[in-house]
A and B are shown apart, each in its own frame.
Chain A
Amino acid sequence: MSKKYQVCYADEIPTGGRLIVDIAGRSVGIFKVNDEYFAIRNSCPHKGAPLCRGLLDGMVTGDAPGHARFERLGEIIRCPWHGWEFDIKTGQSVLNPHKVWVRTYPVSVDAEESVQTNANCAGPDPSIETYPVTLETTNTGERRLLCIHL
C-alpha cells in the first residue's frame, strides 16, 4: 500500500516549474504541467543520471523530411546524460515506450487538515534551481498541500 507524503504547498511550483525532493530515500521530481502535477523518479533507467534535472521541453515530431513539429510544451524531459526523452505524464520513454520507462508516482492536492504524515520528506534539494513563487490562495484563503504517494 502506498504512503502519502506532504511535499510542499501546491502554489510553490509554478506552471512549467519543477521541484526535486528526497522522499523515503528516493529522489523524485514533481512537475506542474498546465494545471496538473506529475511525479517521476529522478533516476534515468539507462545510466542512473539525475533525469529530472534535464531539459524540460516539448515533443518534436515530423511527418516528412525537413518538417518538424513542436508540441506538448513542458511535457517531455530529456535526460542530461545521453539525451533520452521521457513523457513526464506517463513515464514512458519516447524511444521505446513499452520497454523503457521511468517510475511515476501519483500526486494529489489536498486541503491542509486532511494531511496526516510528513515523515521522511527531506524537502527540496538545495542544489536544484528554485523558482520565484507567487502565493495563491483559494476563495476561503486556504493554501492547498501537494502530496505524493509512494
Chain B
Amino acid sequence: MNNVVDQKNRKKMTIVDTDVHHGYRSKSDLFPYLSKFNAERFAEYGIETGFSFGFNGGVRGRRAELVDENNPPPKENFFTSAFDVEDTRVRLLDGSGIDLAILTGGIGQAASAMFDVDYASALCRAFNDFSLEHWIAKDERFRLVLHINSQDPNGAAAEIDRLGSHPAVCSVMLGCGAPRPFGHRLYHPIYEACVRNGLAVAMHFGAEGTGVNPPISAAGFPSHYIEMRQIRSSWYSVNVASFVFEGVFEKFPSLKIGMLEAGFSWLAPLMWKMDFDWKGLRRQTPWVKKLPSQYIKEHIRFATQPMEEPEDPSQLKQLIDWIGGSQILMFASDYPHWDWDDPARTLVDYPEDFRRRIFSENAIDTFRLSLPSISKAA
C-alpha cells in the first residue's frame, strides 16, 4: 500500500499535474477585474447558487496540514482551492517535483449554473484575468484552464477567442451538470472556438444540482457527502455518451477532452455497453461511424485521481488494461484537497514507459503543452 518512488528515480521523470485547484483568497481579489456593477453584486452575494454539495472531507475540503490555523482561509472562500501562489510553488511544484501544473480553479462550473448569465460570464472573465495576473505570471510551470459560462455558448466562444491564444492557456472548463448533456449542439460554438484556438476541453464536476442545473441524481438529492461521491461517475458517463452519440468527434475531429477527478474504474463497463448497444442501435445515430469505445480512446483522456484501491493490486492493472492501458490516463494530484494523490506514491509498480505516458506524455498530447525551458534542459 505504501510503496514510494525513490527521490533519485522521481527526479528523472517529467510530471504534469492535470488538476491543481487555484483560487483567490478573498472576494475582493476579483474586484479589480469586475465592473463596479458586478463587483457590488459579487461583494454582496458571491457565488450565490453555490457548489454541488456543502459537506466535504478534510478541513473544508483541504488537507489539514496545509491549513495555517493562524492564517486560515476566510469562511467566504469555501470552494477549497489553493489561494497562496508562493505556498503552492514551494509545496507542490518544488516539493513534489511537478514540471507543469494545470490550474483548474475554480468557479466556472458554479458560474455556469447561475441564473443571471451576464453576471456569470463576468465572473468567469474576472477569474481568468485574475488567474493570468496572479498565478500564471508568477511561475512558468503553471498552465490555465479557461473558465467560461457554458450556458452562454456564444459568450463563452468570445471569451475563448479573447484569451485562447495566451501561451499558458491550454483548455476550457466545463462542469458535468447542465440543462442538457454537453454533446448537445447548443454547446457546439464552444467546441468550434476550442478547435479554432487549438484548445482542449477539461471537464471537472463542480456545481451539479445547483442553480439552473437538474438534481445531482435521477432520484434527487442524497443526504450524505459520501453518497454524492458515488454519483459522480454518472455525471461523467452521461457526458461521455453525449459527446459520442451527438457526433461531436465526427464534427470536431481534432477536439480532445480531459475528464478530471472522474475516476476511471467505471469506464470499462461503459465502453463495453456503448459498443454492444451501438451494434444493435447504430441506425438511430448513423453519424457515429466507429465503435463508441474507439472515439473515447481517440479523443478523451481521464485523470488518475481519485483512484480506487482493490485488495489485489493486479486487479487495478487489469482494469487499466481494459480501458486502453498506458494511453488513456493522465496523472492528477487534485492539490490541495484532502483526497489528493502524491505523485511519488501513485502507480509506482508499473513499467517506466507506462509511467512516462501517464505522468506526462498523455497530458502533453491532450493539452498540447510545451515544457518550461528548465525541464527541457534536464
Chain B, residues 314-352, CB within 8 Å of chain A (1/0): the string is 000000000000000000000000111110010000000
Q: Which of B61-69, B193-201, B286-294, B366-374 contacts A (4 or more CB under 8 A)?
A: B61-69
Chain B residue numbers with a CB within 8 Å of A14 are none
Interface of B (DSSP majority class): loop
Chain B CB within 8 A of A143 CB: no
Partner of B64, one of A45, A46, A53: A53
Chain A residue numbers with a CB within 8 Å of B70 are 129
Mark out the residues of chain B between 50 and 64 whose CB falls within 8 Å of any chain A CB in the assembled complex. Answer: 57-59, 63-64
Assembled-state Cα–Cα distance A7/B246 (Å):
66
Q: Which of A30-38, A77-85, A106-114 contacts B (4 or more CB under 8 A)?
A: A77-85
CB of B338 within 8 A of CB of A83, answer yes
Instruction: Given A54-B64, A54-B65, A55-B59, verify A83-B339 contact (CB < 8 Å).
Output: yes
Chain A CB within 8 A of B2 CB: yes
Chain B residue numbers with a CB within 8 Å of A50 are 65
| Interface size of B in residues (CB-CB distance below 8 Å) | 18
Chain B CB within 8 A of A67 CB: no
CB of A80 within 8 A of CB of B65, answer yes
Assembled-state Cα–Cα distance A46/B2 (Å):
6
Chain B CB within 8 A of A3 CB: no
Chain B CB within 8 A of A98 CB: no
Mark out the residues of chain A between 45 and 78 whose CB falls within 8 Å of any chain B CB in the assembled complex. Answer: 45-50, 53-55, 78
Assembled-state Cα–Cα distance A82/B345 (Å):
13
Chain B residue numbers with a CB within 8 Å of A48 are 2, 4, 342, 345
Interface size class of A (residues with CB under 8 A): 10 to 19
Instruction: Given A47-B342, A80-B58, A83-B58, verify A55-B64 contact (CB < 8 Å).
Output: yes
Chain A CB within 8 A of B1 CB: yes
Residue of B nearest to A100 (CB): B1
Partner of B57, one of A46, A49, A53, A83: A83
Residue of A nearest to B338 (CB): A83
CB of B63 within 8 A of CB of A80, answer yes
Interface of A (DSSP majority class): loop
Chain A residue numbers with a CB within 8 Å of B345 are 47-48
Assembled-state Cα–Cα distance A83/B63 (Å):
9
Chain A, residues 79-102, CB within 8 Å of chain B (1/0): the string is 011110000000000000000000
Mark out the residues of chain B between 195 and 254 whose CB falls within 8 Å of any chain A CB in the assembled complex. Answer: none
Assembled-state Cα–Cα distance A138/B341 (Å):
47
Assembled-state Cα–Cα distance A47/B2 (Å):
5
Min Cβ gap B151→A in Å is 34
Partner of A81, one of B59, B69, B339: B339
Min Cβ gap B63→A in Å is 5
CB of A81 within 8 A of CB of B2, answer no
Min Cβ gap B157→A in Å is 39
Chain A residue numbers with a CB within 8 Å of B340 are 81
CB of B2 within 8 A of CB of A78, answer no
Residue of B nearest to A77 (CB): B64
Partner of B63, one of A45, A46, A81: A81
Assembled-state Cα–Cα distance A82/B64 (Å):
10
Q: A48-B4, A49-B342, A80-B63 are in contact. List 7 more A-B contacts (CB 8 A).
A: A45-B2, A47-B2, A48-B345, A81-B63, A83-B58, A129-B69, A129-B70
Q: Which residues of B contact A (CB under 8 A)?
A: 1-2, 4, 57-59, 63-66, 69-70, 338-342, 345
Q: Which 7 A-B pairs have the closest CB atoms?
A: A53-B65, A80-B64, A80-B65, A80-B63, A55-B64, A47-B345, A83-B57
